[in-house]
C-alpha cells in the first residue's frame, strides 16, 4: 500500500531524510516514526488538526456531491494532462485521483483525517498522508511529474521543489459564476472577484502559464443537492444544518457548477 510510494516521500521533521516502510509504520533513519492507519493512511501532523479541517460529515457530503459527476469534466481534464507520478495536494476523499490509470503512482495530501481515511480506501495503492499544506511538503525533491491543486492552498515554492524538470501544476478553481444562484440566495459564501487573478500572480515568478480550460454545467437545485453543497464546506463552518433547512423554501430552480483549470509548467 503506502510502501509502494515510500521512495517519493521524506520525513516532515528532518526533511533531508527519506521515509521508509516498516511493519505498521513509516520511519526515517533518525528514528522518527509514524503509524500507518488501519485504512492505509499516515498522519504526519505533530499537532492537532486545526478547526477548519473537514469533518467526517463534511467528507460524506462532498462524496455525495462528487458522485453526481457534475465535476467529471474537470476530473477528465486532470487525468488527461497528468504524468506517471501525481501529487494531489488537498486530495479530499480521493474522488479525483480515483480516475487515474492503475499504473499511475499517486501521493495524496490532506489536512483532514476523515478525508485521508476515505482517500486511502478508494485507491489502496496511493500514499495518503495527513499534513498541513502550510508546512514543508513530505515529498522528496524532484519526485513527481504532476501536482494537482483542486480547491486547495497552493504552496508554489514547494510545488516547484517536488516537481521533476518539465513537470506541471494543474490548478482547479471555482469560476466567478460557480454556485452563483446559491450565493445570491445567501446559502453559501461567494468567491473573491479577483480569485483567479491572484492565483496567476502567485505562480508568475516560478512557473509559466500553459493553458486555461473552463467547464460549466447547470443542474436542478434539489434540496439534496443544495444540502450537500452547503454541508461540504466552507459554508458548513458558518451555517448549521438547521439554519440551512430553514432556507429551503427559498431555493432557486437551478445551480451552476462552473470550474476553471489552469496548467503551469516549471
Question: Which tens digits make up the pLDDT trace of 26-84?
Answer: 888 888 999 999 888 999 998 887 888 999 999 999 999 999 999 999 999 999 999 99
CB–CB of 108/94 below 8 Å? yes
**Within-domain flag for 18:** no
220 backbone dihedrals φ, ψ, rounded to 5°? -70, 135
**Within-domain flag for 10:** no
We report the CATH number of the domain holding residue 128 as 3.40.50.150
What pLDDT, on a 0 to 100 scale, did the predictor assign at position 18?
82
**Within-domain flag for 239:** yes
Q: How many CB atoms lie within 10 A of CB 72?
A: 16
**What's the CA gap between 156 and 108, in Å, rounded?**
17
Q: Give the single-character DSSP code of 5.
A: G
For residue 260, what is its C-alpha cell? 476553471
Q: How many CB atoms lie within 10 A of CB 238?
A: 11
Span of 102-116, 178-192, 235-249 with lowest mean pLDDT = 235-249
Tens-place pLDDT, residues 186-209: 888 877 778 899 999 999 888 999
For residue 29, what is its C-alpha cell? 533513519
| Cα dist from 221 to 79, 179, 216, 227, whole Å | 28, 10, 15, 10
98 versus 49: which is more confidently predicted?
98
Q: How many domains in the chain?
A: 1
**What's the CA gap between 69 and 93, in Å, rounded?**
15
Domain that holds residue 50: 40-265
**Within-domain flag for 7:** no
CB–CB of 116/92 below 8 Å? no
Q: Model pTM? A: 0.92
Instruction: Give the mean pLDDT of 78-105.
Output: 97
Sheet holding 33-35, edge to edge: 20-22, 25-27, 33-35
**Within-domain flag for 172:** yes
Beta bridge partners of 89: 109
Burial environment of residue 78 by CB neighbours within 10 A (0 to 12, 13 to 18, 19 or more): buried
**Within-domain flag for 12:** no
**Within-domain flag for 82:** yes
pLDDT class of 15 with cuts at 50, 70, 90: confident
Amino acid at each position: 500500500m503506502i510502501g509502494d510510494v515510500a521512495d517519493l516521500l521524506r520525513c516532515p521533521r528532518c526533511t533531508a531524510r527519506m521515509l521508509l516502510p516498516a511493519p505498521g509504520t513509516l520511519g526515517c533513519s533518525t528514528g522518527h516514526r509514524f503509524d500507518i492507519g488501519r485504512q492505509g493512511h499516515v498522519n504526519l501532523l505533530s499537532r492537532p488538526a486545526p478547526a477548519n479541517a473537514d469533518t467526517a460529515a463534511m467528507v460524506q457530503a462532498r462524496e455525495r456531491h462528487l458522485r453526481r459527476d457534475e465535476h467529471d469534466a474537470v476530473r477528465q481534464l486532470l487525468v488527461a494532462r497528468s504524468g506517471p507520478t501525481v501529487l494531489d495536494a488537498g486530495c479530499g476523499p480521493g474522488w479525483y485521483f480515483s480516475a487515474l490509470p492503475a499504473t499511475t503512482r499517486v501521493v495524496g495530501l490532506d489536512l483532514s483525517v476523515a478525508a485521508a481515511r476515505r482517500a486511502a480506501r478508494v485507491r489502496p495503492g496511493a500514499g495518503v498522508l495527513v499534513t498541513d499544506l502550510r508546512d514543508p511538503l513530505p515529498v522528496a525533491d524532484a519526485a513527481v511529474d504532476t501536482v494537482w491543486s483542486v480547491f486547495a492552498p497552493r504552496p508554489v515554492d514547494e510545488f516547484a521543489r517536488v516537481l521533476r524538470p518539465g513537470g506541471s501544476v494543474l490548478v482547479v478553481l471555482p469560476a466567478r459564476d460557480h454556485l452563483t444562484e446559491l450565493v445570491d440566495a445567501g446559502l453559501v459564501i461567494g468567491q473573491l472577484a479577483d480569485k483567479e487573478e491572484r492565483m496567476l500572480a502567485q505562480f508568475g515568478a516560478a512557473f509559466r502559464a500553459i493553458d486555461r480550460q473552463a467547464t460549466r454545467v447547470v443542474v436542478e437545485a434539489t434540496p439534496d443537492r443544495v444540502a450537500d453543497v452547503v454541508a461540504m464546506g466552507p459554508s458548513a463552518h458558518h451555517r448549521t444544518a438547521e439554519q440551512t433547512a430553514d432556507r429551503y423554501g427559498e431555493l432557486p430552480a437551478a445551480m451552476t457548477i462552473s470550474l476553471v483549470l489552469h496548467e503551469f509548467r516549471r
